[in-house]
Amino acid sequence: MAIILKVWGNLYNKDTNPDGVINVGVAENYLPQKELTEWLNENVKFSPVDLTYGDSLAGGKRLRNNLANLYNTRLSPLTPLDPDNILVSSGVSSVIDQLAWVLADPGDGVLLGKPFYGGFQKDMYARARVKTVAVSLKDVEDPLGVEAVARFEEELLASEKRGTKIRAIILCNPHNPLGRCYTLEALNAYMRLCAKYSIHLISDEIYAFTLYPPTDASSAPPFHSILSIPPLMDPEYIHVAYGASKDFVMNGLRLGFLYTTNPRVKAAYSDIAFFTRPASVAEVMWSTVLENETYLDGYFKKNSALCARGRDIVTAWLEEHNVPYVKNTYAGFFIWIDVRKWLPTGKDSKTGKELTPVEQERKLTMRMVEGGVYLATGEFFGGEEPGYYRLSFANEPDELRLALERLGEALWGQHGNGEVETLVDGVRKVELGGMQLEG
């Protein structure tokens, strides 16, 4: 968090702050924001009822109906979503926080595969004190394929031997930070595993509509919502999270929902839903977009094209400079890159000791920021080893190309030395301190 505050305090602007830091680390899609803002200003209408508590503590009926329709008409669920099974919260982070509180006791664990969205650690541990138990997939050819499932079972058994009761598996599909989708075979295998051990399956589908043509269709599994697949486990143990932050570029409105058919989960979740219910004006804004199918069709199509353009700009640069990366990205708006061979070596200026790999990654991160570009570190995503970064590409082309130029200067040592140990240590303490990561 400390490094993010440093970045936000000096953000790049081509007119007012050209020497500021270009943010290609936080997963925000800037590309459709101007057009969407103009459309919202012209189309959103409020009524007196929007200033009241509304008709439900778990989200207004209007929004829940629209969200059910979104899934029912565009994601082919096996059974149509019932609006009464939708519980709205202030973002998917709130959904995961509340779900952890409902499903597990303090000290219990939830399995997730490396690399993973680092926010899950905070979401599950900060209040519910639920551990994220990381599953190493280092030697698995496809972390999103069926081969990975056996590693989950191994870690489940090992964790329970250590005294950590596993309550659930969480999947991010489409995957953050890999920018790809789970295979159908893998999703089926995860359901079988959950059924075998009577644990829950949480599917975070927040990037469900940010999809674009892969460069190689033969190795690009299509997106399957877990609700579109015949359940190979008790359906009441399947829970889906979705929100407006990514596909609808509304990070700041704080809108997300949980879909569950489990009456006990619904009851417990509803007891605390009041504390994280979004503002009714935010609900109205999302509903207004969802109700206009014609606009939505055009919006999704244009957003996909813009993301594909960003992907192509970045991959062309990576190829030109021989920077390894996860090939064939086609979901989300980021790419997972490998810059291990450019990690700085040497000794710590204060202790005189050789830099550890983690310290090398932190030093490179500070060198990037000093050089005017910010990428999300592999440390935050539970990377198998230091030197991996998530690079978001949802910036305007000229800004994105400048970010890549600055990245190159940082990698090849042409800008800064990264000597900001106190701040780097602070990043670790704020982002990961107090949270428990096993495995």
pTM for the predicted model, two decimal places: 0.91
User: What is d(CA 137, CA 182) in angstroms, rounded to the nearest whole number?
Assistant: 14
The residue assigned the tokens 């949802």 is 394
Number of structural domains the chain divides into: 2
- Are residues 375 and 320 both part of a single domain? yes
- Are residues 303 and 286 both part of a single domain? no
pLDDT, tens digit, for every residue of 38-55?
Answer: 999 999 999 999 898 888
Query: Which of 292, 324, 353 represents a domain boundary (last residue)?
Result: 292
Any idea which of 82-86, 207-211, 330-334, 416-420 has the lowest mean pLDDT? Answer: 416-420
- Are residues 309 and 280 both part of a single domain? no
- Are residues 255 and 136 both part of a single domain? yes
CA-only gyration radius of the chain, Å: 21
Residue 44 lies in a domain: no
CA angle 194, 196, 198 (to 5 degrees): 60
Is the pLDDT at 75 greater than 70, yes or no?
yes
Classify 426 as helix, strand or coil: helix
| 418: confidence class by pLDDT, cuts 50, 70, 90 | very low
| 233: confidence class by pLDDT, cuts 50, 70, 90 | very high
* CB-based contact 342:364 (threshold 8 Å): yes
Residue 354 lies in a domain: yes
Per-residue model confidence (pLDDT) at position 242: 99
- Which residues span the domain enclosing 128? 49-292
CATH of the domain at 328: 3.90.1150.10
- Are residues 284 and 323 both part of a single domain? no
- Are residues 362 and 388 both part of a single domain? yes
Residue 422: in which H helix or E strand, if any?
helix 421-431
- Are residues 278 and 313 both part of a single domain? no
